[in-house]
Amino acid sequence: MKIILLGGTKDSINIIEFIKNNYDAYILTTTTTEYGARLAREGGSDDTIARPLPKEEIIEIIKSQEFDVLIDATHPFAEHITQTSASIAKELKMPYVRFERPTTNLENIDTSHIHYVKSFEDAGKLIADEFNQGNVLHFAGANTMTDIVKYVPTERFYPRILKVESSLEKCDALNIDPNHIIPMKGAASLEENIHLIEKYDASIMITKESGEIGGVIEKIEAANEKNIDIIMIQRPQIKEINKNDIVSNLEELDIKLKNFF
């Protein structure tokens, strides 16, 4: 079978490896960065596209190369591309799977330091209103910085991002001091998070509810250890997706693929 995979996450690499090990499949993985594409190739993807794709181009690729399945394994907060992928599958009447990592189980975790908000703009406003002293660790990616620094002075702002050209350009455009940029390579451990809080004298941390694979528990435990606050952006609910199209692990994906073929 021929699969077009919208990737760029650790989940998408796991999917590539699982499918190549268990199916006779050709996989084209699309990502927004060359870094993500390189990881996909290393994981076994047959081909990659390393740039954002508009809806019309995705449709043209699917039609011209006669793909059988569309799998969306983009980040839980990549709301627009997930809406787009669901609409493409519906329009083309093709099998579709949304791979969505489960939300974090915080049942046995101290959540007293967490302040939940629905958007990054709300996070920026909350910091400006209630946490206007001390430095801010931004553990939520380069694409979300703008809504924060509208309200938070850049001299207090320390983003942990992939040091790729597009992210560094965003920092430059926002006048973020290069010395404030924290290089990111995968999810940080508890010890690494504690070290960053201490090194940058942080009083608050911003993160997304991105699931355990995104290191949420390690961030919470580090904040608890150092007695600082966390602003957590809640995961968006995407109305366009049919719940039956969502899987949250490789076993469920396997069942879906077997049902399709």
Say whether both 125 and 218 belong to one domain. Answer: yes
In a domain, 9, yes or no: yes
Residue 110 has a pLDDT of 92
Residue 103 has a pLDDT of 76
Beta strands across the sheet bearing 69-72: 47-50, 26-31, 2-6, 69-72, 96-99, 246-247
Tokens of 235: 């995961």
Residues 210-219: b if buried by 16+ CB within 10 A, e if exposed? bbeebbbbbb
In a domain, 108, yes or no: no
Residue 247 has a pLDDT of 94
In a domain, 40, yes or no: yes
Q: Tell me how far apart the alpha carbons of residues 221 and 66 are, in angstroms, rounded to a whole number.
A: 47
- Measured over all CA atoms, what is the biggest interatomic distance in the chain, rounded to whole angstroms? 57
Residue 141 has a pLDDT of 87
Say whether both 120 and 226 belong to one domain. Answer: yes
Weakly modelled stretches of the chain, pLDDT under 70: 212-214
Residue 31 has a pLDDT of 95
Total number of domains in the chain: 2
Contact status, residue 205 vs residue 231, Cβ threshold 8 Å: yes
Helices then strands, counting H and E runs in the chain, come out as: 10, 12
The model's pTM is 0.72
Inter-CA distances, 217 with 59, 74, 160, Å: 38, 21, 17
Could you tell me what percentage of the chain is helix, strand and coil, using 3-state DSSP and rounding each to the nearest 5?
45, 20, 35
Residue 165 has a pLDDT of 86
DSSP designation for 71: E
Tokens of 75: 């980040």
Say whether both 31 and 69 belong to one domain. Answer: yes
Q: Tell me how far apart the alpha carbons of residues 36 and 40 are, in angstroms, rounded to a whole number.
A: 6
Q: Which of 59, 100, 62, 106 is nearest to 238 (CA)?
A: 100
Tokens of 229: 């606050």
Residue 238 has a pLDDT of 77
Residue 187 has a pLDDT of 76
Say whether both 131 and 57 belong to one domain. Answer: no
Say whether both 67 and 12 belong to one domain. Answer: yes
Residue 225 has a pLDDT of 96
Say whether both 93 and 142 belong to one domain. Answer: no
Domain coverage including residue 92: 2-102+237-260
In a domain, 107, yes or no: no
Say whether both 205 and 252 belong to one domain. Answer: no
Residue 162 has a pLDDT of 85
Say whether both 121 and 229 belong to one domain. Answer: yes
Task: Give 72's strand partners.
Answer: 6, 98
Say whether both 23 and 47 belong to one domain. Answer: yes
Q: Tell me how far apart the alpha carbons of residues 86 and 215 are, in angstroms, rounded to a whole number.
A: 27
Say whether both 97 and 123 belong to one domain. Answer: no
CATH number for the domain harbouring residue 198: 3.40.50.150
Say whether both 28 and 85 belong to one domain. Answer: yes
Helix/strand/coil for 89: helix
Residue 164 has a pLDDT of 84
Phi, psi of 68 (to 5 degrees): -95, -30
Residue 59 has a pLDDT of 97
Contact status, residue 85 vs residue 245, Cβ threshold 8 Å: no
Q: Which of 179, 180, 174 is nearest to 157 (CA)?
A: 180
Say whether both 137 and 216 belong to one domain. Answer: yes
